[in-house]
Structure 1
């Protein structure tokens, strides 16, 4: 016999307001009210704890060499659907030709890439709720294949993530890599987190677990964060500051005190360190980035919007230690109909709704 909605609600009220359930409900409600009174915001993720430095200022993932041309055609903005053709010459990293297709909506995101060597990579993101997103990615190349499965939960004042790379149970046990992270806001400016990395390439090798601890402090115009991995004796620290409305700078320092290698005494622990300093300047229709590290490598990147659909990018790098230099020039053209451009302008404020 099926109960009516009013009867179901009455039973739920009795359970939640009486006995142990009622006590637990009152404790949780009091804890939640005090938590809301702190005015905490989401601190981001441990993986992107230094995004102001690593992604906004530094050009480690943006630098390239050779000549490159990209043509992007947008067919729709809501939902987003676009394809692009990429041509490259003189680069040891980028393939000569690559075709990319992207589809995105508030619930699903799809991306597929295929190059001239038939090497394929793809991503699929699915939003279960506004806070929970599942992600899957795959890479099929001649050097090997990779599968990644991830679940991200974004709470009001915390972020949690669970990720597995090439998981398998076919060898009589669990192999692959598993990563779990949690970042919690303690005050409106301070956040503390933990990150665990478990790996076992094959059953013939023992599993290895590394745990790191992270802290992030974000003020109005500056940010400082750090991560400590006690098992490896590694420390990573970053500092970012907005110098003016158009200028921002950042520094990253990575120290390792327990590395095992030929540099150590008789194969014992060695000490290594790397420091990188960078700055970014935003012009009216262009941006300039530059960075230098302690090994003598100087890099710069200039992005210039010539017209609304045409963007030119110049990349340069000089390595004084090896006396090597790299230059890169890219031209990007974003083509779209007027109706699609109007959709893109209306959807710009809702860009975060697509589960990238």
Structure 2
């Protein structure tokens, strides 16, 4: 249970008043991406390469550790140790705070997040990343949730001595129970350069689908999620970048076969990259097997992976 609570807090689920399907699209998000647009479940398969072994161990109702071993043919093999702590401050049936999540690899590089619910309406988060002995990134968030709105401010990599950093402010308002509209302003500064980027976004939530749209100076992003039935879910994403002068379309689906304890995910995009993962739970053992493969037809590149999760 504590692992599920930690994931819910780390991902964040803003605009609880405006959507029945609320989950993280990606484990992390960029500073200039609307959090409330990451709304549909992970229907796209996660790229795999080599062999991965994950061992999860719950030490108590509030503390869990995990060990991850990665064996790669393309890059360096690695080992990561992670820990998750969920506090005793109960804010709901599926939420407890504070939440602390972190992991460190064999080279000493660290990723960590701390999330705390200050009050019923105010939530804060601090995340940082190190590469061996050096700080690489750190980010602080403060989010305020009202009855029909969400407002947040994010500060990323501030350096007072150099005069650099990123500030992001966004506001989302529920217009109707199904429609939410918002705006976001990103300000970035570093020596010899500074600028702002503004984006407007909207999200429409139906009984079994969610549609989102973002328009701004950096480009456009649109997504559509549809739950066909209890076993089949579909997702489509469109992204256009003005800086890269590129557009892409991705289609993904998730097929759940509960009687066989199977979960299949597949995807294809406009760059002719096809991927799929198959996950099999070996009940009653706390063991899961994952097979994954991706093929880039343009680059004639193929990679596959195999994973085992215990616990």
The unaligned stretches of length 5 or more in structure 1 are 1-39, 261-270, 335-356
Equivalent residue, structure 1, for 2:47: 63
Q: What secondary structure does 1:76 align onto?
A: coil
Contact 1:46 1:183 in 2 (8 A): no
Following the alignment from structure 2 to structure 1, what is the Cα–Cα distance between the partners of residues 106 and 226?
42
Alignment of 1:247-286 (within 5 A): 247-256=232-241, 258-259=242-243, 271-284=245-258, 285-286=261-262
Check 1:186–1:95 CA distance in 2 against 1; reply closer, same or farther (3 A cut): farther
Distance, in Å, in 1 between the alignment partners of 2:166 and 2:76 is: 27
3-state SS of 2:59 partner: strand
**1:154 positional shift:** 2.5
1:94 CA drift (Å): 7.8
TM-score normalized by structure 1? 0.72
TM-score, normalization: structure 2?
0.82
CA displacement at 1:303 relative to structure 2: 1.4
Unaligned runs of 5+ in 2: 1-15, 23-32, 88-95
Q: CA deviation at 1:112?
A: 2.0
Aligned pair count reads 272
> Does the 8 Å contact 2:52/2:70 carry over to 1?
yes
Partners of 1:288 and 1:108 lie apart in 2 by 34
The aligned runs of 1:16-165 (5 Å cut-off) are: 41-42=17-18, 46-52=34-40, 55-59=41-45, 62-77=46-61, 80-90=62-72, 92=74, 96-105=78-87, 106-142=96-132, 145-165=136-156
- Please identify which structure carries the higher helix content: 1
Deviation at 1:91, TM superposition (A): 5.7
Q: What does the per-residue CA deviation read over 1:316-346, in whole Å, with 9 as the maximum and x for residues that have no partner?
A: 1000010111101110111xxxxxxxxxxxx
Map of 1:300 onto structure 2: 276
> Equivalents in 2 of 1:124, 1:91: separation in Å?
34
Structure in which a larger fraction of residues adopt strand: 2
How far does residue 184 in structure 1 lie from its aligned partner after superposition? 1.2
RMSD: 2.0
Cα distance in 1 between the residues matched to 2:159 and 2:77: 30
SS in 1 for 2:230: coil
Of structures 1 and 2, the larger Rg is shown by 1
